Copies of this chain bind each other. A is one copy, B any other.
Amino acid sequence: MPTGLPAANSLVAPDEEGWVWGQIKAEARRDAESEPALASYLYSTILSHSSLERSLSFHLGNKLCSSTLLSTLLYDLFLNAFSSDPSLRSAAVADLRAARERDPACVSYSHCLLNYKGFLACQAHRVAHLLWRQSRRPLALALHSRIADVFAVDIHPAARIGKGILFDHATGVVVGETAVIGNNVSILHHVTLGGTGKVGGDRHPKIGDGVLIGAGATILGNIKIGEGAKVGAGSVVLIDVPPRTTAVGNPARLVGGKEKPSKHEDVPGESMDHTSFISEWSDYII
């Protein structure tokens, strides 16, 4: 289980940030040349900027602004955060790599940077979380609200999220206040990491490193989804899931049973294999 998220061993080396940013600019330059109708967009979002943090701050500021929260204010807020906190930048780079490596539909880093609402929501959440930890809660909640409106991704600013995260498709994701998500986790759309009622305190799931959570899964309560576990699409999980184990169904059961859950060896958050384990299981007849 992830204990404290901003781990000492940063997942991304400083020069990796430069390398990814170089890739992004090269991709955008190629696309601007091949598609004049998009060139203005690519210059304003990527090619006119001197760094990934500026590009990302500009893009998020323009995506999340409203008539009462101006883009300049948000741009400033994001740029301050990304400039002053290198862990935010390395997390963004790790998330870009996660999308590029795990999602076959992700054709380039710039595609993820510009278009993945899960990626963008996650980076904005990291800034909201920073504000939350700085006790700037009203601002964190206002940002949270904008993310929920614009991307339909609702992550409470207090939730702690690791690096190398892929929120794939992302629409409808809900992550509660005391939830914790480890590193290298992949979460599909419509996933809920929810609480258990109106009692406060620590009441949301803890997701271990390398976990894969299928589309529409609902995980409720202060339970542990162990390192490298898988949760099947559409499952409703209310029990701990041991490491490297699979839970499926509504209500979710462990594949192999609670006593002897069958273990798998790969890291599903990275392999993204989220159906093989349930193919025979679904081969049932009523």
Q: Contact at B177–A35, with CB atoms within 8 Å? A: no
Q: Does chain B have a CB within 8 A of A255?
A: yes
- Given A154-B189, A215-B192, are A142 and B115 also a contact pair (CB < 8 Å)? yes
* B residues less than 8 Å from A47 (CB atoms): 36, 39-40
Query: How many copies altogether?
Result: 6
Q: Which residues of B contact A255 (CB under 8 A)?
A: 286
> Which B-chain residue is minimally distant from A201 (CB atoms)?
B104
**Interface stretch among A1-9, A13-21, A82-90, A274-282?**
A274-282
B32 touches A37 (CB 8 A): no
A269 to chain B, nearest CB (A): 11
Q: How many chain A residues touch the partner (CB < 8 A)?
A: 120
Cα A139 to Cα B76 with chains together (Å): 22
Q: How far is the CA of A200 from the CA of B107 in the complex (A)?
A: 11
Does the CB pair B48–A111 fall under 8 Å? no
Q: Is B237 in contact with A282, judged by CB distance below 8 angstroms?
A: yes
Max count, chain B CB within 10 A of own CB: residue among A48, A54, A234: A234
Chain B neighbourhood of A235, CB < 8 A: 234, 250
Q: Is the CB of A271 within 8 A of B197?
A: yes
Task: Provide the A220-259 mask, 1 if CB < 8 A to any CB of B, else 0.
Answer: 1100000000001111111100000000111111111111
Chain B proximity of A40: nearest CB distance (Å): 4
Q: Is A22 an interface residue (CB 8 A)?
A: no
Question: Which residues of chain A from 121 to 140 have any CB-CB distance to chain B below 8 Å in the complex?
Answer: 136-139
Structural contact, A274 and B197, CB atoms closer than 8 A? yes
A26 within 8 A of B: no
Please, which residues of chain B bring their CB within 8 A of the CB of A201? Answer: 104
Using an 8 Å CB-CB cutoff, how does the interface string of A143-168 with B read, 1 for contact, 0 for none? 01100111110101000000000000
Residues of A within 8 A of B (CB): 31-32, 34-45, 47-48, 54, 58-59, 61-63, 65-73, 75-77, 101-105, 107, 111, 114-117, 136-139, 141-142, 144-145, 148-152, 154, 156, 169, 171-172, 174, 176-177, 188-190, 192, 194-201, 203, 214-216, 218, 220-221, 232-239, 248-259, 270-276, 278-279, 281-286
